[in-house]
């Protein structure tokens, strides 16, 4: 799961992956949100929900991220620097 650390918004990168593929998945995550800090998280599918995600780098739970679920707050105003707008025709190498 790709997580924008600025507001906790997340989206899937790969349905089935393994630690050996996390580097590839992180690069895809970065390519989808250029210029925005992102982190790769994972959880067991279908046994766990996204609130059980764990950082692939630090091992910290998503729920301990300061911005976890911030994007859900109806009063939250997302900064223009907190977005995922990849340029057209991007690719992961």
Q: How many CA atoms lie within 13 Å of 5's alpha carbon, on the beta-carbon side?
A: 14
Report the alpha-carbon distance of residue 55 to residue 3 in Å, rounded: 9
Strands 10-11 and 2-4: antiparallel
pLDDT at site 80: 84
Nearest CA-CA partner of 13 in 37, 39, 35, 36 = 39
- Over its length of 93 residues, how does the chain's per-residue pLDDT go in tens digits? 999 999 999 999 987 778 888 889 999 999 889 889 999 999 887 888 888 999 999 999 999 999 999 999 999 998 888 988 766 665 666
pTM of the full predicted structure?
0.83
User: What pLDDT, on the 0 to 100 scale, is given for residue 90?
Assistant: 59
φ/ψ region of 61 (left if φ > 0, alpha if ψ in -120 to 50, else beta) reads beta
Taking the mean position of all CA atoms in its chain, how far away is CA 57? Answer: 12
């Amino acid at each position: 799961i790709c997580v924008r650390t600025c507001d906790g918004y997340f989206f899937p990168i790969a349905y089935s992956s393994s630690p050996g593929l996390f580097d590839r998945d992180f690069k895809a995550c970065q390519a989808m949100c250029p210029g925005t800090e992102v982190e790769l998280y994972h959880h067991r599918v279908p046994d766990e929900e996204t609130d059980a995600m764990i950082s692939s780098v630090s091992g910290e739970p998503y729920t301990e991220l300061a911005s976890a679920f911030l994007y859900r707050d109806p009063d939250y105003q997302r900064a223009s620097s907190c977005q995922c707008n990849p340029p057209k025709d991007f690719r992961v190498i």
